[in-house]
Structure 1
Amino acid sequence: MPVELRSITAECCYQIQIGYDEFDCSSDIHIIDEFPQSSHQHSSSTDLAEKQHCSNDDFDDDDEYRDVSSGLPNALNPWAFQCQIRSFQNNGPYGTFLMLENLTSKYKNPCVVDLKLGIRMYADDASEEKKQSQKRKADKTTSKDLGIRLCGMQYYDSSSSTYQCIDKYYGRKLDQSGLKKLLNKFFKTAHGERRRAVCTELLTKLARIRSIIASMDGLRLYGTSLLIVFEGNPNIPDNNLDARLIDFANATCNGLSESVHKGPDAGSLLGIDNLTKILSGLLTK
């Protein structure tokens, strides 16, 4: 990863081997082994826990997750669980993964949104079938005109102690108006002056992220997302807003492969600019 990006991404801590009981999908995923020496100097998972503000044990509550599409309640975010299980179904009951910094660990009731940036999602080495599939997907969604598409969201409703959860399939159905309304609902989770503080701080972070991307010749963040998190519990005074780039499976930069790109990533900048306009509009309401 280019060093310029490291301050606006989740920290990569080490590799980890995990697994689950393939005959019991409801069972917990368990750690088999850790390889802290495989990445940067982040000596152990204990160091990571100390770095983060709090653990799940601090927040033992009865909040439930409710899927917006079906209305069904769940004990945990249903989309996150599906993603984990599908990974094992595709690769077997064991796998080695990168352990990333948990960006939500410092929140009691995190409000999270994943916005895919840009108008192109496929990698330089993608097959023609994959390219056409991704092009059709982008053309039918807000990616084509706005350079952003909703890939996932959860926001906290303190009145009912529930998280409202939205997956990527719901996001693909949204037009520009629908996306703007949903983002408005997401940020309205932070009431009154708190919402203004969240939007203002996010605008500042977006300006910094934009400046970094605009300065990097040849960087292409194909399929990369912007992850935004803030505290949804109204009784906690600090909204603790965070915004990072995540998911670099299809991203590239000059020197990483044989492909050479010129100039900054216009697609990602389009997405950030349109998100900036949406946020600025929320501040005027």
Structure 2
Amino acid sequence: MEYTNQVGGRAKITKVLDDHLLKPTTVNEVNNYMCLPRLVAEVAPDICFVVSLEDIIPLKMCNACSNSFHSIQDLMQARPKGYYLIMKDAAHDLQKPRLMDLKLGTRTYSDYITEERKQHHIRKALRNTTSRLGVRMCGASFHGATEGKIIKWSKAWGKEMSSEEFSMAMKAFFNVSEPQKRDTILQLRKIKTALESCPGFRFFGASLLAVLDDLDGKTVIIKMIDFASMARSELGQPQYEGPDDGALFGVNNMLSILED
């Protein structure tokens, strides 16, 4: 089933098993999800299974998945062999979802691309808030003041934003109930703590996903997503010291904007 709440990312996500999502991905992201530091895993999506070619590997199975393993096997047999994530849909059952995807960090490319592509990414980052703020808006969708009107913000607009426009956009998007504002800040602080806790890791290309419900005025889910380009400083790989300052720069700027 088509997933209508996707606001960012290139992979075509589909709705499966009523309240789950299926995301086609790469072997790198599958492996990285299985090696996430504990505190980062707590702020990452609830991945019930990773699929690596013919293997369906449980990660954080929910109750529904525990009773649906045969359905999941049937689901994957009908798909091309490859790499997938099966996760809980954070926006499931929300009546008035408020959704945004934010590219996180001052560097968005992996260690394993050509020098030409690397320079392309660097030039792009210098033209937008990736370099200036460590965070860039990649897409958003929420209900406007007029009943039935859906406001959508595009990835293209995110690339054109000045720092001031980005700050104004964040304040407009998070113009929600006071409990939701407080919870948003608390969850961003939790992500900050997670990033600070894992020296040597670099979350290149990761994003922040914000999911709120305008109807209940309570629901807030802020997650770190997209770990395909993550670096772990393992033997034989590029080595990094300390925490990911680029990602922390982005989270700190989000906190500064929302706490202002």
Kept in 1, the 8 Å contact 2:104–2:208? The answer is: yes
Q: State how 1:71-86 maps to structure 2 within 5 Å.
A: none
Q: Distance in 1 between matches of 2:155 and 2:210?
A: 15
Whichever of the two has the greater Rg, that structure is 1
Q: State how 1:7-18 maps to structure 2 within 5 Å.
A: 7-15=42-50
What's 2:40 paired with? Answer: 5
What's 2:245 paired with? Answer: 266
- TM-score if structure 2 supplies the norm length? 0.74
Q: Does 1:251 align with 2:230?
A: yes
SS of residue matched to 1:6: helix
Taking only the aligned residue pairs, the percentage that are identical comes to: 25
Root mean square deviation of aligned Cα: 2.6
What's 1:201 paired with? Answer: 183
Kept in 2, the 8 Å contact 1:218–1:261? The answer is: yes
Kept in 1, the 8 Å contact 2:201–2:240? The answer is: yes
Quote the offset at 1:257 in angstroms. Answer: 5.5
What's 2:256 paired with? Answer: 277
- TM-score if structure 1 supplies the norm length? 0.68
Moved over 6 A (4+): none
SS of residue matched to 1:38: strand
What's 1:116 paired with? Answer: 103
Specify whether residues 248 and 280 from structure 1 end up closer, same or farther in structure 2 by C-alpha distance, changes over 3 A only: same
Specify whether residues 108 and 48 from structure 1 end up closer, same or farther in structure 2 by C-alpha distance, changes over 3 A only: farther
Q: Distance in 1 between matches of 2:67 and 2:103?
A: 27
1:68-124 deviations in Å (ceiling 9; x for gaps): xxxxxxxxxxxxxxxxxxxxxxxxx95642222211114211101111111111111
SS of residue matched to 1:150: strand
What's 1:165 paired with? Answer: 152
Gaps of 5+ in 1: 18-33, 50-92
Quote the offset at 1:224 in angstroms. Answer: 0.4
Q: Distance in 1 between matches of 2:140 and 2:118?
A: 26
Gaps of 5+ in 2: 1-35, 69-78
- Equivalent AA in structure 2 for residue 2 of structure 1: P
Q: State how 1:233-248 maps to structure 2 within 5 Å.
A: 233=215, 236=216, 238-248=217-227
- Equivalent AA in structure 2 for residue 219 of structure 1: F
Q: State how 1:63-212 maps to structure 2 within 5 Å.
A: 94=80, 96=82, 97-157=84-144, 159-188=146-175, 190=176, 194=177, 196-212=178-194
